[in-house]
Structure 1
Amino acid sequence: MTTLSVVVPVKDEEEAIGPFVAQVAAVLDGLRDPAGAAERWEILFIDDGSQDATLAAIITANLADPRIRAISLSRNFGKEAALSAGLEHAVGQVVIPIDVDLQDPPEVIAAMLARWREGFEVVYGVRRNRLTDSLPKRMTADLYYRAHNWLSMDKIPEHAGDFRLLDRKVVDVINRMPERNRFMKGLFAWSGFRQTSVEYDRVERKVGQTKFNYWKLWTLAIDGITSASTVPLRVWSYLGAGIALISLLYAGFLLVRTMLFGVDVPGYASMMTAILFLGGMQLLSLGVLGEYVGRLLVEAKHRPIYVVRDEIGAPATDMDAMKMDGA
């Protein structure tokens, strides 16, 4: 019998808790191992500093079914930190991160579990299409995946989100990673192991509203690239060398022209264009350098990735022990 931990980061999702639990619990109850026995499971919510009645809705669900539990964080630390908390507190042999909006259909879990039993340690969900997203989001998402995989040695699967199945050995490796600036899809890719995919169709969100906007997605994209690659730093060395070479060639051209035709007065427009261009390049390079220095500062502080305020419910292993003791 396998223990499955479904990890669900949430923030201000009081309306979505009930429908999510009803649909996911029904799917999990229907899972069977090769011998035909029902699988053991838990749903672990990570309340990432919700300001509404999200935690109260989770407590209500826990009272109805003790297999539903939660970790409540002391404030909003962000989805990557909340997902890290979920991986550290999950007890299952397999761990499945999923969003509460049900756009990633939980019915796919059965297919993921089948591939895991074939020997794969990571089974990630890949969207067949992104028709539920707006055209600008589809275009920027495609551009980001291409840029990330071009810049980084750790290739992330295109159009794959956090929805995936992780074997316990993969989770243990990720939990040992000490960095504070966390881009989970990059960590999943870096960990290696045998990986495969399961395709599915994403559906429209039926309850609540997304908490992501374009600024948050942009910030996440920057975090993803800077955490996985030093190419943005290295490129300025090559760019600087190229500009220096062009400048040297231009200086040689001016020298030859002056010797042949005499001295002339350079134009104001060309001089200002060169100054503004080089000044803009310098500021841009300082901005890229600042991104990396800021991340070094966060790592040097060595603060916790998250802080737990409260825990609701007992892990599946504790509940099993209580049943064996006759509690």
Structure 2
Amino acid sequence: MPQLTVVVPAYNEAAVLETFHQRLAAVLDGISIECHVLYVDDGSSDATWAIIESLVAGDSRTGALKLSRNFGKEAALTAGLDQIVAGAAVVIDADLQDPPELIPKLIEQWQAGYDVVYATRTVREGETGFKRFTAAMFYRSMERLSDTAIPRDTGDFRLLSRRALDALGQLRERQRFMKGLFTWIGYRQTAVHYQRDPRKAGVTKWNYWRLTQLAIEGITSFSSAPLRLATWIGLLSAGLAFLYGMWVLAKSLLYGDAVRGYPTLMLVILFLGGVQLLALGVIGEYLGRNYTESKQRPLYFVDKQHSPQRQN
């Protein structure tokens, strides 16, 4: 009999968890296959874990992991997916921006033979125009820079088949950009479109600083384009500097040198210095990621665990 586990990472989501579980349970009640829910508490500092334990006690289909600290959403997702030893998985956030009612449509595509069924947003309600613009620019930049075709306007909400989970489990890199990893494994993938709702309660944990860090993580994990760009900028700068030097030499030979040009000299020095620092920064980003990978630290540690009960 097919099995499905819904993995829900949560970090300080006490305000919305009970409402989310009610809607999710209603959806799972209408699905004919065996379903489980696995909450992953990513080191929350509010009542998230206490609420999760009450949900586990009240619903035999529900299990839970509590990580030893806040490792980040990518690690929390990995921890949840690592626990699934049979069947497929659905990844969904607890803030109800991604509707649980869409899960049956994901299952339909899975049963039609697709290994990865991702939910693509057609409308992003409850977000500022600036955030929608920056998100659109990020996805389109990734599309151009990366060799892996990451779907536009698509988050972590998706279904993964058994062999997709097995493939994903072999990718143990520490710098994890899950949206890229989901796509990189390949297999048959398709989209289900939906309208994203505003957050029902609580506040988002993704401020612009964290979103910028995630964007840098995605670009450096799936593209070497910044390194190539630094190389081309360096070559262009060197070419311009050479041409300018030839012009200064020719001018001195033809007209003499009146010891002028201090502003121009400073401009050239500052320009070349800025280009060099930019190139060093890009190299440093990649070097830092190699350093992190070389330490081979575990992705996460589990503090507490509750396993769901198998249905009869």
Report the TM-score when normalising by structure 1. 0.92
Does residue 144 (structure 1) correspond to residue 131 (structure 2)? The answer is: no
Residue equivalent to 2:19: 19
Residue equivalent to 2:28: 28
Residue equivalent to 1:183: 177
Q: 1:13 offset after TM fit, Å?
A: 1.2
Task: Give, in whole Å, the separation in 1 of the partners of 2:197 and 2:219.
Answer: 28
Q: 1:255 offset after TM fit, Å?
A: 2.4
Q: 1:129 offset after TM fit, Å?
A: 1.6
- Comparing 67-76 with 261-270, greater Cα deviation is found at 261-270
Task: Give 5+ residue unaligned stretches, structure 2.
Answer: none
Cα deviation code 1:267-324 (max 9, x no counterpart): 211111111111111111111111111111111110000001110134x5xx35xx6x
Q: 1:43 offset after TM fit, Å?
A: 0.7
Letter in 2 for 1:164: R
> Which of residues 47, 52, 65 in structure 1 aligns to 2:46?
52
Does residue 295 (structure 1) correspond to residue 289 (structure 2)? The answer is: yes
Q: Secondary structure of the equivalent of 2:205?
A: coil
Letter in 2 for 1:136: F
Q: How does 1:184-263 map to 2 (within 5 A)?
A: 184-263=178-257
- Comparing 251-260 with 213-222, greater Cα deviation is found at 251-260
Q: 1:211 offset after TM fit, Å?
A: 1.2
Q: How does 1:123-134 map to 2 (within 5 A)?
A: 123-134=117-128
Task: Give 5+ residue unaligned stretches, structure 1.
Answer: 32-37
Cα deviation code 1:75-97 (max 9, x no counterpart): 00000000011110124521110
Q: Secondary structure of the equivalent of 2:167?
A: helix
Does residue 2 (structure 1) correspond to residue 2 (structure 2)? The answer is: yes
Residue equivalent to 2:299: 305
Identity of aligned residues (%): 47
Q: 1:18 offset after TM fit, Å?
A: 1.0
Q: Secondary structure of the equivalent of 1:201?
A: strand
2:234 touches 2:276 (CA, 8 Å); kept in 1? no
Task: Give, in whole Å, the separation in 1 of the partners of 2:190 and 2:70.
Answer: 32
Residue equivalent to 1:166: 160
Q: 1:169 offset after TM fit, Å?
A: 0.6
Task: Give, in whole Å, the separation in 1 of the partners of 2:231 and 2:44.
Answer: 44
Does residue 279 (structure 1) correspond to residue 259 (structure 2)? The answer is: no
Number of residue pairs the alignment of both structures matches: 312
Q: 1:239 offset after TM fit, Å?
A: 1.4
Computed over aligned residues only, the root mean square deviation of the Cα atoms, in angstroms, reads 1.3
2:17 touches 2:94 (CA, 8 Å); kept in 1? yes
Q: Secondary structure of the equivalent of 1:266?
A: coil
Task: Give, in whole Å, the separation in 1 of the partners of 2:280 and 2:170.
Answer: 32
Residue equivalent to 1:99: 93
Report the TM-score when normalising by structure 2. 0.96
Residue equivalent to 1:34: none
Letter in 2 for 1:7: V
Task: Give, in whole Å, the separation in 1 of the partners of 2:204 and 2:245.
Answer: 56
Q: 1:258 offset after TM fit, Å?
A: 2.3
Task: Give, in whole Å, the separation in 2 of the partners of 1:303 and 1:76.
Answer: 15
Residue equivalent to 1:35: none
Letter in 2 for 1:129: V
Task: Give, in whole Å, the separation in 2 of the partners of 1:131 and 1:203.
Answer: 5
Cα deviation code 1:143-190 (max 9, x no counterpart): 111111111101211100000111111111111112100000010111
Q: Secondary structure of the equivalent of 1:5?
A: strand
1:5 touches 1:91 (CA, 8 Å); kept in 2? no
- Comparing 281-290 with 221-230, greater Cα deviation is found at 281-290
Q: Secondary structure of the equivalent of 2:305?
A: strand
